[in-house]
Structures are given as C-alpha cells and as structure tokens.
Amino acid sequence: MTDANNSSDSSPKEPIVSEQVQVTKSIQQQIAEELYVGKYKFYNGILYQKIDNYYEEVQDELEVSRITHHISKFKFKRDEKGNITHPYATAETSKKCLEYAKQFVTTSVAINDSCLYCTNGVLVEHIEGDKVPYTLSYRLRDYSEDDFCIGKPTVTYDPKFDNLYLNQLFKCLDKDQLDMFMSILALSPFGGALQAKKLIGRLTRAVIVKGRGNNGKDAFKMPMILILGGDRVSSIKTQAIADYDSGTNRFGLSPLINSRLNWASENPKWVDITDLVALKEMVTSDPLTIEEKHKKPKRIQTNCINVFSVNQTPRLDTAEESIKSRFCVVSFNKTFTTNSNEVNESKGILKADPRFQDEQFLIDNVCSAFLNALLLYRQKVYAQGHIDWTPTDKAIEDIQCEYLHLREFCRLYNFGYGEGTTPIISLYKKLEEFYIESGCLEFIQTGKDGKGKPKAQWQDSPNKNDPYIKGTNQVFARFKALFPETEKEHLGNNKFGLKGLIFKGQQVSATDATQFPPGAKVRIYPNPDNKSIEFSGTIERRLANGEYIVSTLIKGQEQPLPYREENLELISLF
C-alpha cells in the first residue's frame, strides 16, 4: 500500500502568504493609466492622441506640461504636523512619466494596412482567388477600437457619387495616358505595391509626370493625399535620392517607412534618374536601408508608388529596355485658358478652372468619385494581371530623342532591331544624310575652282554629352550603347556590320500616322467611328490586301490578328 503521507498530489498549491501585502502604484503607473491608456498610441517613435475615430500627433513638450499640471494636484503628508507637499511636481518627473507612458501604449499595428479610413466608415477590401484573374470587392464597416487612423478622414465613400467634376479633371490627359496613370496609382491603397508584387509580380514603375505650369498635375495629386491620408504620402525628390546614394544625406529616405505614395514635385532636370541605385530599389520594392536620426539603421521593403513631377524633361538616355522596365512617362500636355473663346478641346485647349486648386472643392466634388475610379482601375489590374505600358513608349522616345540625336535618327529612318545585318559604311552614309538635313554638317568644296576633295564642316553639338559621329570607327560603340544586343559582324574585305539592326523600310516621319512598319506600336479601334473602345498592339507585317497583322494581348496571351489601316493609329515606331 502506498503511504498517504507520501502520495503525489498534482493539484496546484495556493501560495503561502505570511502577511497581507498592499501594492502601491508608482507615479509613472498612475499617470499612464489616468492620462494615456485607451486615449493614446505610440507608433514608430511618435505619440498620437485619439480624437473621435482618428488619431493626431502630439508634441512631447505639450505633454510634459500637461503631466506637470496633473501631478501638481497630487498631495502627500510628509510629517507628523501634517504639512502637505508636492514631491513629484518637477519637470524631470514629468519627462520620466511621459517616457513610461509611451512604452505603456506602444503599438506595432501598422497604419492603413488593409483598409481606407473614410468619413462614413472603414472601407475594407476582399480578394478572391489564388492567381490571376483575382476578384476584388469592397464593403464599408463601422469604426472599432482597433482601428488606427492617423489624421481626420476627409473623403466619403459613395459608390454612386456623381462623376461630373471627375470627368472634367480626367480631360487633362489623353485616354490611354489616363488609363495607364490611374492603373498604377490604384496600386497604392490597401496592401500597396508589395501586395501587387506578391500576388501578380512586379507591376510598378517610377512615373515621370511631365508638363509645364498648372496643367492638372496637382489636381490629381491632392485627391490621392486626401484619400490615402497625409501620413501615407511622402514627397522625396530625386535630388534627395541622389544624396542618399552618394552618402551626402542618409536620412532623406526615412519618410518611405510608412509611405504608400511618394509624389515629389519640382524635381531638377540635372539629376540622372536612370543611374540612382536607391530609386531602383524603391521601384522594385527590394530591401533598402533606412536611417532615421538617433535610431539604428534598418532594412525595409518600400511599399509605395513613386511619382516625380517635372517641368523640364529629365535624362533618359541609357539602354532602351532598362528604361522601359523602370519608368513610365505621363504627359500633361493640354493647354488651359481663361478665355472661353479660345477653348478647343479637340486641339487640347481646355477651359481653366481654378476651383480644382481648392482643397475643399476637391473634397466636396471630386474625391469620392476619384476613389470610385481608383477602385475600378484596381479591380481591372488585378483581374488582368498587368498594366498596359504602351502609351509611355512614345513619350519615352520623345525624351530620349531630346537628349540623344541617334534616337531621333533611328525614329526618322525606322532603324532598330530586326533579322539581318547593316554594313557600318551604309549606316554611316545615312547618318551623314541625317546630319546634313539637320544643319549640323555641310561639305565645303576645296582646291582651285572648287574641284578639290570636299571638306566636312561640323557645327558644335548643343549637348556636350551627345557628340556627333564623325567617322565610321565610332559607329559600333555608339549604336551598341543604344542597342545592347547588337554585335559587330565581319562581312569580309575588312568590312563590318551591325548584326541584328536593320532599316525597316522607307524613311518614316515621326508624325506620319498613315504608315505602320513592322515593330511599330499602334492603338487599335475595333470601330473607327467609336473611339471609346480601344487597345494596343505591335505591327508584325502588312498583307497583300492592305491589312496589317497586329500582335495584341488577349486574356494574357499574345495573338496576331488582321486589321485595316482605318482601325489603327500610330503610337511609336519602335
């Protein structure tokens, strides 16, 4: 038999308390519980105060003053005579109480990660599917205690809101440019660029918004700030990114930590954005080291769409494919006038409306419709699994031609990738024709009675970084820089050619929209009389009956289809 006194008892024992202990809270605990719990959140080094359904940043100096006033009300008896003192009513104690309270209300909950905060509730996104095509839907729910909204919401979600003023705003852009721009902006809310990268693959590019003066750029930017919330929109300029790369200022990218949209205005022309390492990481959401003052550096994946507004076009003069994989250009090229008699929408002359510069007007008349449009474009991108970047080809080509005269040559003479080899001597003869027609080269007769060998007389290139080609020995290196896949091919008799580069037909003007050589990018209108329905493609060849075979993307697959000339409109030649 087992001895009862030695039997094992697994039931928990009550703690033995020898005497009653009275727990007294410290002054820090009292302040935290009385002033901060349930009313404040401390996130990413910033203290926020709850007001109604949202939080606003508060300054430490004001909080120390508030704590000091609160502590001064505490009274303590210090001696037998009953003298009342205030031993904790000091600035040092107040500062310690504030630091303790911050730790007490610290939260790691990310802001706006899966929803949008609106005046009438919280807009939540639901994604169905495990691959493209995804189905996105939205519902509005009430605010809860767990919501962490920074700043007072200003936009109301109303799926039936009138599009009157939104349509007026959208006239600032051509339809194809508008669709491309809104598609990429639509990736910024909810899960941001990282969510799109995870579910679809890398979609994003840095957007260069090009246009002089007040031409609608800010009228697009302000609704995005109001919809996302100011805490989720940063404005890091290309110069700050260049300074980060060079090590001049390593703190300039810290606003990216919480950013969903980085939209920087007035970016300088002289910064070579094609060579910014940090910008590449921002575009691809690859890990980037962020440094904040008085904090340890940390590695993050940026989660924002990048938009850079420029008045003067930046340099885009590196290899074509690397440019097109990282950048897109949105051209605000419409003209605005206050004279109603000068308005001509068909020519891109629009009536100026200063109300679109007023924040309250945008809140009352535009933002709700703008939000609805963002959601529609977002649904389309997630359903199709891609963004049509075709509209940016012509714009990038224009910028490249501005900085590289060889780009202009290739466009005018329809020279580019193709099956075959172009002899260097033949290419140089075409270049001479181009230089002569451009006025930068002329041949002066020499010798008696002008019967000597003609002498080439060159004008100086207006761009010191873009010198003219003055001999056949320079041809290969210069065109190799533009077309990295080309190789020098030996043709015999000490002659060489550029393999994989050809003239694709007759010389074509950049503005001639009636000729569609192979490789040209075109806009397709199934019904030429109704241009509201359109898509894009690439010319493969012309048939004997005058129709063109156009390769276009249908349900995620390239398909060649025949179209007549009246169904097509030229976007770019290569």
Cβ atoms of 444 and 457 within 8 Å: the answer is yes
Residue 6: Cβ-neighbour burial (10 angstroms; 0-12, 13-18, 19+): exposed
Strand boundaries in 484-556, DSSP class E:
487-492, 495-503, 521-524, 535-542, 548-554
Peptide bond into 133 cis (omega under 30): yes
Q: Which of 210, 234, 237, 239 is nearest to 224 (CA)?
A: 234
Cβ atoms of 89 and 96 within 8 Å: the answer is no
Q: How far apart are CA 561 and CA 551, in angstroms?
A: 6
Measured between alpha carbons, how far apart are the two ends of the chain, in Å? Answer: 97
- CATH class for domain 508-574? mainly beta
pLDDT of residue 231: 84
Tens of pLDDT, residues 437-481: 888 999 888 777 766 778 899 999 988 889 999 999 999 999 998
65 token code pair: 């003053």
Q: Which residue ranges of the chain lie beneath pLDDT 50?
A: 1-8, 10-12, 15-18, 20-22, 506-514, 574
Specify the 3-state DSSP secondary structure of 441.
strand
pLDDT of residue 333: 86
Q: How far apart are CA 256 and CA 235, in angstroms?
A: 9
pLDDT of residue 112: 54
DSSP string, 190-244: TTHHHHHHHHT-----EEEEE-SSSSSHHHHHHHHHHHH-GGGEE---HHHHHHH
Cβ atoms of 415 and 503 within 8 Å: the answer is yes
Which DSSP symbol is given to 170? H
Cβ atoms of 75 and 86 within 8 Å: the answer is yes
pLDDT of residue 546: 67
pLDDT of residue 86: 72
Q: How far apart are CA 293 and CA 500, in angstroms?
A: 52
Specify the 3-state DSSP secondary structure of 68.
helix
Sequence ranges of the domains in the chain: 27-104, 115-340+347-402, 413-503, 508-574
**One-letter amino acid for residue 216 of the chain:** G
Which CATH architecture is the domain 115-340+347-402 placed in?
Answer: 3-Layer(aba) Sandwich (3.40)
pLDDT of residue 270: 74
Q: How far apart are CA 262 and CA 185, in angstroms?
A: 11
Q: Please indicate, yes or no, whether the overall pTM of this predicted structure exceeds 0.85.
A: no
Cβ atoms of 155 and 367 within 8 Å: the answer is yes
Q: How far apart are CA 50 and CA 375, in angstroms?
A: 29
